[in-house]
A and B are shown apart, each in its own frame.
Chain A
Amino acid sequence: MHGAMPTLVKLRAGAMPTLVVGMFLPVVLAAALAPAAAAAEPKPPAGQPQPGPNNCILCHGNKDVWEGEQLKLFVTEADLAGDIHWQSGMRCQDCHGGNSRAEEVRQAHAAEDGFRKVASPKDVPEFCGKCHADIEYMRRYRPSPRTDQLAEYWTSDHGRQLKTAGDLKVATCISCHDRPHGSGAERAKHGVRPVSDPASLVYRTRVAKTCATCHSDQKLMAGRLYHAQPLPCDQYDKWTRSVHGKAMLEKGDLSAPTCNNCHGNHGAVPPQVDSVANACGTCHGKVAKLFAGTRMRHKFESEGLPGCATCHGSHEIHQPSDAMLGMQSGAVCARCHEQGKFGATLAGAETARKLRSDLERLKGGIEQAQDTLSEAERLGMEVSQPQFTLRKASDALTNARSLIHAFQPDPVEKALAGGQEVVAEVQEQADHALAEHTSRRIWLAASLAPILLVILLLLLYIRSLPAATGGAG
């Protein structure tokens, strides 16, 4: 094929410095062609499809035209088949401008035809935003489109770094939505898929992995700071071990939070000290509301402690347990109240101890009632109603656990007392069921005795009857 088109583009990286736009930028394809056009008057190669409505593909879909760094400009229709834009009927010129009907390179990439260069990652947000921030345009495709992604992006740490620090390694639109995967010429490109598509890199279950591509890369993160501390690279590993990560990755729970739920997506930033509770409260509304009205919240903020994360951690958040409450080893209350850190009081320590003790008492009561009910059920007694009632005690326990976030003992004690009342009622019913079972056995024995006596008397009477058999046999 090379010989068949000696004058057509044979692009060399050294001859076109403006085309080197970075490893992750496949959309620069069109920009690469302009200087090359100046050096050659391309004609459609012999044997190739003749010019049609989309002549771009004649060159960009021909692998032999590209080599080295320029391979990123090689795009076939097969690559485009999975792209949401392509599927919506858009063609190259709809994003890149230019003249797709032109038969030679210069005409195809003429500025007067609106050809748009993507010379640098810096150009990408505005390139995509041209349409995605245009509500009139986007309404053609959806009745209620989001058009704030571009504005959000410029508020994100990614956007700020790109704009102000000129950091070309930060994520732009295509880093997450169309990052080439595979290697070399086999890399898929122009494969922007809808977020709802499980193959999309930003599909819910893949978001964390996509973020981790950069954020777990020690080389890429080296030298980057957050609150004057080196930016860690272990967030993804921690998240996979967290209750959230396990819910999503192991249980397939798509409602479990991943990176963007706490950090935002287009406007990704770490939640600040005063906004952590609000981020958690997006899902944990009740406890966030309770916490918001506490003195503890103001104390945390004044001490620079990040709300919920102070006790529960951030990325590696484990299933909360009652062991977190109290003053024993491993309890989170003890971290501050034991040594009076951040002004924590001994009275608070005593409250934590008492709440833990009462919590355990209710738990023990529920377990004991459940054991008795299970035993009664095993013996065949009908105990579905008390079993149902016992759920109220479990609900009270759950409620009390939530109310702990109000950092006031009274509501918790009230909830626990309600649970204890239910437990006492159910325990009585369960004991009654067991007693009833014993009573049934006694009554069975008592009723079998007269039955056997009657049988015995009948047999004796039958024996006393004359052998009244007839017939001639």
Chain B
Amino acid sequence: MSPASPESTPEKRGWSGRLGAFFYQRLGLDGLAALAAKKHVPVHRTTLFYFLGGMALFLFAVQVATGILLSLYYKPSPDQAFESVRAIMTEVDFGWLFRSIHSWSANLLIGILFLHLLTTYMMRAYRRPREITWMTGVVLLGVFMAFGFSGYLLPWNQLSFFATRVGTAIAGSVPVIGKYALLMARGGEEITGDTLARFYALHVVILPLATIGLIGLHLFLVQKHGISSPEGVIRKHGGEERVPYMPFVPHFLLRDMVGWYLALGILAALAALFPWELGHKADPFGSAPAGIKPEWYFLFMFQALKQLPANLGGIEWLEGEMVGVLFFGFCGLVVLLVPYVDFGASRGRPRWVLNFLAALAVGFFIFMTAWGLR
């Protein structure tokens, strides 16, 4: 970025213009303006999919804003966590609104990220040189799922307590490292105040830092490599540079903003009409609530693991849950490495096998989730 010069500063009149020019010069915004002017968004039949990334970013910003407000009142200890969330819901001005928006926004965010991943796959946007862009996106999805898992425990209610017990126990079934992972996650053998403290630290410090880094890298790569067009569109127009586009600023950004305002309205309506419930305070000595289940985005794994027998093929050491966890871990690895698993991506070859597996995975996700919700 070149240093700002009086020549590159737009002519401004009046006090607001002069103030703008003051910051324009000192912050070097001309470089940013040049960057924005260079950024284009391809225009074609599926341009709508490009809005998903911006929508995810907006929802993340909502999470950060509402999360900061909640952290002003939340007390991360087993004795006070539930009561503090209840106070947020009932005593703090607009506390109910911020908590409900935080919870609804988290769920919408994960849903948007799933769609973003799927549409990016469909457009084969992970093609060279965007492999790392894809991989940072996949890792970000995992990080946001971890956000959901850790945040679920924080209200310290009955459902979240036992769901966390089940969830961490599943992680504990991984061979070799499972036992250590479980101890590390729980801070001991059982779900206690130590677990709550760890999950809180994970939720408000570790994951946000990781997210900011990953989002920064993701956006940098998107800026560096530009926005990918689908192969068919490129072929139709005879080259990527010949694909019609619109400037990011202001054309795409304004459309993005329409989506953000729409999302804001939807969040407000969901929060007002369907406030996120609090449930009953966790009782570690009580029995697990009937029909215990995790958040919807973990349900496909939970439901599948439930169907597995204790031991596969009658072999004692071949535990069903362990095999299931390893299988899902392997699937996650395959998704992460899709740019390299899709061998013909750079040469534009069809990917029938991969598409079949992807369709199978999506069908499996929808079926298992619907089954689990039933």
Where the two chains meet, the residues of A that have a C-beta atom closer than 8 Å to any C-beta of B are: 380-382, 384-385, 440-441, 443-444, 447-448, 451-452, 454-455, 458-459, 461-462, 465, 468-473
Question: Is there an interface contact between B275 and A471, defined as CB atoms closer than 8 Å?
Answer: no
Interface residues of B in 242-270 (CB under 8 A from A): 242-247, 250-251, 254-255, 257-258, 261-262, 264-265, 268-269
Enumerate 11 A-B pairs (CB-CB under 8 Å) in ascending A order: A380-B274, A382-B96, A382-B278, A444-B273, A447-B268, A454-B261, A455-B265, A458-B257, A462-B251, A468-B251, A472-B241
Report the contact-size class of chain B (Cβ under 8 Å from the partner).
35 or more
Q: Determine the chain A residues whose CB is within 8 A of the CB of B242 once the complex forms.
A: 471-473
Shortest beta-carbon distance from B178 to chain A in Å:
36
Taking the closest CB of chain A, its distance from the CB of B269, in whole angstroms, is 6
CB distance from A453 to the nearest CB of B (A): 10
* For the complex of A and B, 7 pairs with smallest distance between CB atoms: A472-B242, A444-B272, A471-B244, A382-B89, A380-B275, A473-B237, A473-B244
A384-B272 Cα distance, complex, nearest whole Å: 18
Partner of A382, one of B251, B265, B275: B275
Given contact pairs A443-B272, A462-B254, A471 touches B265 in the complex (Cβ within 8 A): no
Q: B8 near A: Cβ within 8 Å?
A: no
Contact residues in B for A458 (Cβ distance below 8 Å): 254, 257-258, 261
Contact: A451 with B272, CB < 8 Å? no
User: Which of B236, B241, B261, B262 lies at the interface centre, i.e. has the most chain A CB atoms within 10 A of its CB?
Assistant: B261
Q: B246 to A469, Cβ gap below 8 A?
A: yes
A126–B243 alpha-carbon span in the complex (Å): 111
The interface residues of chain A lying within 8 Å CB-to-CB of B262 are 455
A445–B280 CA distance with the chains assembled, in angstroms: 31
How far does the alpha carbon of A227 sit from the alpha carbon of B349 in the complex, in Å? Answer: 105
In the complex, B40 has a CB within 8 A of chain A:
yes
Q: Taking CB as reference atom, which chain B residue is nearest A454?
A: B261
Q: Which residue of A lies closest to B279 (CB)?
A: A384
Which residues of chain A are near B275, meaning CB under 8 Å?
380-382
List chain B residues, Cβ under 8 A from A454: 261
By the criterion CB–CB under 8 Å, are B269 and A448 in contact?
yes
**Chain B residues positioned under 8 Å from A382 (CB to CB):** 86, 89-90, 96, 275, 277-278
- Which chain A residues border B255 with CB–CB below 8 Å? 462
Contact assessment for A384 and B280 in the assembled complex, using a CB-CB cutoff below 8 Å: yes
Q: Is the CB of A451 within 8 A of B268?
A: yes
Cα distance, A380 to B271, chains bound together (Å): 10
The answer to whether A471 and B86 touch across the interface, beta carbons within 8 angstroms, is no
**B43 close to A (CB within 8 Å):** yes
Give bound CA distance, A441 to B255, whole Å: 28
Among B245, B254, B261, B268, point to the contact of A470 (Cβ < 8 A). Answer: B245
Q: Using CB atoms, name the residue of chain B closest to A455.
A: B261
Q: How far is the CA of A381 from the CA of B86 in the complex (A)?
A: 11
Q: In the complex, how many angstroms separate the beta carbon of B113 from the nearest chain A beta carbon?
A: 24
Alpha-carbon separation in the docked complex, A469 to B43 (Å): 8
Check A380 against B268 for contact (C-beta < 8 Å): no
Q: Which residues of A contact B236 (CB under 8 A)?
A: 473
Q: Are B243 and A451 in contact (CB under 8 A)?
A: no
1/0 contact string of B216-246 vs chain A (CB within 8 Å): 0000000000000000000011100111111
B265 and A448 contact, CB distance less than 8 A: yes
From residue B244, how far is it (CB to closest CB) to chain A in Å? Answer: 4
Q: Is the CB of B261 within 8 A of A451?
A: yes
A459 to B86, CA, bound (A): 40
A383 smallest CB distance to B (angstroms): 8
Question: Quick check: A471 and B245 within 8 Å, CB to CB?
Answer: yes
Nearest residue (CB) in B for A382 is: B89
B265: chain A residues within 8 A (beta carbon): 447-448, 451-452, 455
The complex places the Cα of A260 from the Cα of B268 at a distance, in Å, of 65
Known: A385-B90, A444-B273, A448-B269. A465 touches B261 (CB 8 A): no
**A472-B236 Cα distance, complex, nearest whole Å:** 11
Q: Are B96 and A471 in contact (CB under 8 A)?
A: no
| Nearest CB of chain B from residue A59's CB, rounded to whole Å | 55
Residues of B within 8 A of A459 (CB): 258
Using A382-B278, A455-B265, A472-B238 as known contacts, list a sample of 16 further A-B pairs with CB atoms less than 8 Å apart, ordered by residue number in A: A385-B90, A441-B272, A441-B273, A444-B269, A444-B272, A447-B268, A448-B268, A451-B264, A458-B254, A465-B251, A468-B247, A469-B43, A469-B244, A469-B245, A469-B246, A472-B242
**Chain B residues within an 8 Å CB radius of A472:** 237-238, 241-242
* Interfacial chain B residues near A469, Cβ < 8 Å: 43, 244-246
Residues of A within 8 A of B244 (CB): 469-471, 473
Residues of chain B from 34 to 87 with CB closer than 8 A to chain A in the complex: 40, 42-43, 86
How distant is the Cα of A194 from the Cα of B86 in the complex, in angstroms?
A: 53
Beta-carbon contact of B237 and A471 below 8 Å: yes
Which residues of A have CB within 8 Å of B43? 469, 471
How far does the alpha carbon of A461 sit from the alpha carbon of B255 in the complex, in Å?
10
- Docked Cα-Cα span, A441 to B269, in Å, equals 9
Convert B302-340 into 0s and 1s, putting 1 for each residue whose CB lies closer than 8 angstroms to a CB of A.
000000000000000000000000000000000000000
